[in-house]
Chain A
């Protein structure tokens, strides 16, 4: 192997292992803090790169809420203020817009409690 080819192989190896590359098993997910409050999530729009894993930490500012990512099988209870936070993990396996919502009735404005995870290029609504 020539020196030039060896150099190219090393550079390629460095690029592959650099942050931002496709996730490998055991990669630490990016942490996203979400606040739930009657009747909203903040932030209500979260961008995730395609293939990126995120850990959503949802903390309530008032009562107990639910957190469900529609069509992704994620469904957790968010404890009341001062009682910690819920964790939901999500991997942007394919581009699209994934709706999340409170799925525990929390008052008359409950239906306003929705948000979206945008994976990669914003496409049509994912299920």
Chain B
């Protein structure tokens, strides 16, 4: 039995303990269970227009969320997502993804067990990415190219609240495939998405949040795992560290996030990929991004008189530190100003408009101006 399997086996006693009826569970009424539904979900479609290019109208996401309660303490949640409205062979037209499908074993406030297809608990957006909960038509760049949201994979772990405002999640999950990393999008292509995921190695991810002060949320996340299972002689450890803060009081909301990815032995990873493709992939050893956002509720009378204006600055570089012998591609050292408005005719419906000025440090590639319109809803 290899080490990864040994690591998975340690979860078995915990699962058995969960399934055994506890005295507290025996006291809890099962009235209303089993229960299925109702179906919920979220959807959004966008109009995107970059300078010098034709506008694009895209039904970006159609997501259905299914749930079933076997009992008050055994619950299933699943999330099935269709991206870009249409799926054809080799994902040329869109993607059909099983983003979440897990069973929660609700034990106590301090510890619950979750297993199945899980969202990685990294950053502000990855676990809460529905259109009405963030400003801007598209998700922040940092939450796309540094934290590869929507980041999900198969695994199991625990979550709970420890009291005094502290809560946590910690999972053992399938690792990334480092051979799919790229210079432009970093680790994004390495997500195995629970599709016959190779678990010769496993990864660990955890998040701690502090909510002990009204209006303030502080979070710290990590993800660590070996990502080189396809090439045995590689030792490509990947570590993601992230910190974030949210503050919301009256009309004002502030958000801040910092994320950094470290790729160990990036020299050999580049070497192996160069040998197999004939082209150097120029994968960095460090990727870094951060953003700050301020939003102000201009119209605060409650729906349908609910209007938010925001501005966000993002800085993200997928070539932040290069392995020895490689030169960073400066077009991937980028920053962006995003400013716009979100109008809520209902708390679950967001009508969005924004303008993006996307810059890069290369003298060869022009900066971009984008105008985006979006309509998203959640129920």
Contacts and interface: CB of A to CB of B under 8 A. Distances in A.
Contact of B40 (A42, A62, A82, A107): A107
Contact of B161 (A83, A106, A109, A114): A114
A111 B24 contact: no
A14 B220 CA distance: 52
Contacts of B127: 109
Contacts of B21: none
A72 to B, nearest CB: 11
A82 B211 contact: no
A81 B119 CA distance: 27
B6 interface: no
A124 B364 CA distance: 66
Contact of B159 (A82, A97, A112): A112
A110 interface: yes
B32 to A, nearest CB: 9
A19 interface: no
Contacts of A82: 301-303, 306, 347
Interface string B7-40: 0000000000000000010011100000001101
A24 B161 CA distance: 35
A63 B79 contact: no
Contacts, number: 85
Given A39-B128, A44-B161, A107 B302 contact: no
Contacts of A62: 132-133, 347-348
Q: Secondary structure at chain A's binding surface: helix, strand, loop or mixed?
A: loop
Given A114-B109, A114-B161, A106 B40 contact: yes
Interface residues of A, number: 33
A3 B153 CA distance: 79
Interface in B77-133: 77, 79, 100, 104, 106, 108-109, 112, 119, 127-128, 130, 132-133
A124 B24 contact: yes
A9 to B, nearest CB: 43
A53 to B, nearest CB: 23
Contact of A42 (B67, B128, B211): B211
B139 interface: no
Interface in B335-364: 346-348
Contacts of B28: 70-71, 127
Interface in A27-82: 38-40, 42-45, 60, 62-63, 70-71, 80-82
A105 B40 contact: yes
Interface in A79-127: 80-83, 97, 99, 105-112, 114-116, 124-127
Interface of A: 38-40, 42-45, 60, 62-63, 70-71, 80-83, 97, 99, 105-112, 114-116, 124-127
Closest 7 CB pairs of A and B: A82-B302, A127-B27, A125-B24, A81-B347, A111-B104, A80-B347, A62-B347
